[in-house]
């Protein structure tokens, strides 16, 4: 029986942070035996907002090193850079031609990222069509994403159905797969906004995967909490900071909600909670950081892994594009 195909992407838009790891990368690693996996460093997506050319190259390589260091195994999955497989952009153009602008204008992420901006790039609006191309090109049926990306996968489904209706069955219909836990890690400086790579340079906002133990401890100790001292999950909005810390502890340890809370029954307040949370984060990230450093010191090996990943992806993408072009009526080369 063939394994079901999975596609997921991550943008090299800043230093990879704990939310990316717990909400996405960790799950990819845990399930890589069960599926036919394509994991993509979506560098073209990152360009929808300005990236400093002096940093971008490093960010792409650093992200690749983190993915392998976190445990993605090239024998079990294709890890590759989006711009190394030109068919992503090519399919995006063809899908643009059947996607109504109104579908894109109502995307929440577009509205959030464009609001208050003097000038908004066409790329920002078109981001979900490129994402649909990433997914449909491989006939991926499962798309693991954080809950913030669910709307984009739903749009990919709409685009898929529209194309299939116009030109006949061509693409497999993808489904978003949202992790139950770790779906949203919040900023340590503000537990009401999600932790983000592009804010990871802001002091106290995020833990970066490459942070030292001291940096991790300092950031967690500074995490915003309320003025209470009860360490429990709660729907009270004031508890958002504590929920975030407990949630991180829960995802990393894999304990049940009840067991997580029972660890803190006799704690002497939030100070104890923060130290325990920092300890589990440090233990989880330390081996990744070590492997990351080894990979960054061996750029030829990293390039080789990425080029093998791109080759596997390209072999599927090229075949799919031939089919798509035929369906549309374009002339083969
Ligand atoms: N805070 C988070 N909690 C849980 N999951 C998260 N993800 C991102 N932040 C969190 C998940 O990480 C994957 C890769 O995300 P992405 O790079 O494609 O874009 P993003 O969601 O926009 O991530 P960032 O870190 O917030 O980047 P910027 O700052 O560039 O916007 C996705 O599966 C995402 O859900």
> 317: domain CATH number?
3.40.50.620
- Rounded-to-integer distance, Cα 161 and Cα 166, Å: 9
312 assigned to active site: no
b/e sequence 62-93, b meaning 16+ C-beta within 10 Å:
bbbbbbbbbbbeeebbbbbbbebbebbebbbe
Average pLDDT, integer, range 258-264: 94
Chain segment 82-94, per-residue pLDDT in tens? 999 999 999 999 9
List the structure tokens of 114: 């464009």
Same structural domain, 26 and 168: yes
Question: Residue 207: inside a domain, yes or no?
Answer: yes
List the structure tokens of 105: 């204008």
State which residues form the domain around 151. 5-182+299-328
Same structural domain, 154 and 202: no
Average pLDDT, integer, range 28-56: 94
Residue 137, pLDDT > 90, answer yes
Q: How confident is the model at residue 160 (pLDDT cuts 50, 70, 90)?
A: very high
Ligand 1 contacts CB of residue 185 (under 6 A)? yes
Same structural domain, 49 and 122: yes
Residue 153, pLDDT > 80, answer yes
Ligand 1 contacts CB of residue 176 (under 6 A)? no
258 assigned to active site: no
The best mutation among 16, 21, 24, 143 to test binding of ligand 1, ranked by most ligand atoms within 8 Å of the C-beta, falls on: 24
- Rounded-to-integer distance, Cα 65 and Cα 69, Å: 6
Domain count, the chain: 2
Same structural domain, 175 and 39: yes
Same structural domain, 303 and 225: no
Identify whether the C-beta of residue 32 lies closer than 8 Å to the C-beta of residue 70.
Answer: no
Ligand 1 contacts CB of residue 51 (under 6 A)? no
Ligand 1 contacts CB of residue 248 (under 6 A)? no
Could you tell me which residue, 184 or 83, shows the higher pLDDT? 83
Give how far Cα 173 sits from Cα of 6, 75, 155, 319, Å.
Answer: 12, 26, 11, 18
Same structural domain, 172 and 81: yes
Question: 165: CA distance to ligand 1 center in Å?
Answer: 32
- Of 26, 61, 197, 250, the catalytic one is 197
H helical segments located in the chain: 18-20, 26-30, 43-46, 53-70, 87-96, 101-105, 108-114, 122-136, 150-167, 213-221, 240-253, 257-262, 270-296, 299-328
Question: Residue 192: inside a domain, yes or no?
Answer: no
Same structural domain, 131 and 209: no
- Of 113, 232, 312, 327, the catalytic one is 113
Question: Residue 191: inside a domain, yes or no?
Answer: no
Question: Residue 187: inside a domain, yes or no?
Answer: no
Same structural domain, 112 and 261: no
- Rounded-to-integer distance, Cα 138 and Cα 132, Å: 10
> 261: domain CATH number?
1.10.240.10
Question: Residue 29: inside a domain, yes or no?
Answer: yes
Ligand 1 contacts CB of residue 196 (under 6 A)? yes
Same structural domain, 95 and 213: no
Average pLDDT, integer, range 35-61: 95
Give the pLDDT confidence score for residue 183 in this predicted structure: 63
Ligand 1 contacts CB of residue 198 (under 6 A)? yes
Identify whether the C-beta of residue 5 lies closer than 8 Å to the C-beta of residue 35.
Answer: yes
Question: 24: CA distance to ligand 1 center in Å?
Answer: 8
Question: 28: CA distance to ligand 1 center in Å?
Answer: 14
Q: Which of 33-42, 72-81, 181-190 has the lowest mean pLDDT?
A: 181-190
Give the pLDDT confidence score for residue 181 in this predicted structure: 61
Residue percentage of the chain with pLDDT more than 70:
98
Question: 115: CA distance to ligand 1 center in Å?
Answer: 19
The best mutation among 18, 131, 146 to test binding of ligand 1, ranked by most ligand atoms within 8 Å of the C-beta, falls on: 146
Question: Residue 201: inside a domain, yes or no?
Answer: yes
Q: What is the CA radius of gyration of the chain?
A: 21
Q: How confident is the model at residue 182 (pLDDT cuts 50, 70, 90)?
A: low
Q: Which of 96-110, 117-131, 240-254, 259-273 has the lowest mean pLDDT?
A: 259-273
- pTM of this prediction exceeds 0.85: yes
Give the pLDDT confidence score for residue 138 in this predicted structure: 98
Chain segment 284-298, per-residue pLDDT in tens? 999 999 999 999 999
Question: 20: CA distance to ligand 1 center in Å?
Answer: 5
Same structural domain, 125 and 170: yes
Question: Residue 254: inside a domain, yes or no?
Answer: yes
Residue 306, pLDDT > 80, answer yes
- Of 26, 61, 194, 250, the catalytic one is 194
Residue nearest to atom 26 of ligand 1 (CA): 196
Question: Residue 203: inside a domain, yes or no?
Answer: yes
Same structural domain, 99 and 137: yes
Same structural domain, 288 and 304: no
Ligand 1 contacts CB of residue 151 (under 6 A)? no
């Amino acid at each position: 029986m063939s394994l079901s195909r999975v596609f997921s992407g991550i943008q090299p838009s800043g230093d990879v942070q704990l939310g990316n790891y717990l909400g996405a990368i960790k799950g990819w690693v845990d399930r890589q035996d069960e599926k036919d996996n394509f994991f993509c460093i979506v560098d073209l997506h990152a360009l929808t907002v300005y990236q400093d050319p002096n940093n971008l190259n490093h960010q792409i390589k650093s992200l690749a090193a983190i993915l392998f260091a976190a445990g993605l195994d090239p024998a079990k999955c294709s890890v590759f850079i989006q711009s190394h497989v030109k068919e992503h952009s090519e399919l995006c153009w063809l899908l643009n031609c059947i996607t109504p602008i109104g579908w894109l204008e109502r995307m929440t992420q577009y509205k959030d990222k464009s609001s208050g901006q003097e000038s908004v790039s066409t790329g920002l609006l078109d981001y979900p069509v490129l994402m649909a191309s990433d997914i449909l090109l491989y006939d991926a049926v499962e798309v693991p994403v954080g809950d913030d990306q669910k709307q984009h996968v739903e749009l990919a489904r709409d685009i898929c159905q529209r194309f299939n209706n116009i030109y006949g069955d061509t693409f497999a219909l993808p489904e978003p797969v949202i992790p139950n836990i770790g779906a949203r890690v919040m900023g340590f400086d503000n537990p009401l906004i999600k932790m983000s790579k592009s804010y990871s340079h802001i002091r106290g906002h995020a833990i970066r995967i490459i942070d030292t133990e001291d940096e991790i401890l300092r950031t967690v100790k500074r995490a915003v909490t309320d003025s209470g001292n009860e360490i429990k999950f709660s729907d009270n909005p004031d508890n958002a900071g504590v929920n975030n810390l407990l949630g991180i502890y829960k995802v990393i340890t894999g304990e049940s909600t009840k067991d997580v809370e029972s660890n803190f029954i006799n704690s002497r307040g939030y100070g104890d909670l923060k130290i325990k949370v920092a300890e589990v984060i440090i233990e989880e990230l330390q081996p990744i950081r070590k492997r990351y450093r080894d990979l960054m010191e061996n750029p030829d090996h990293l390039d080789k892994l990425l080029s093998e990943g791109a080759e596997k992806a390209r072999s599927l993408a090229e075949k799919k594009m031939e089919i798509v072009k035929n369906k549309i009526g374009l002339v083969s080369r």
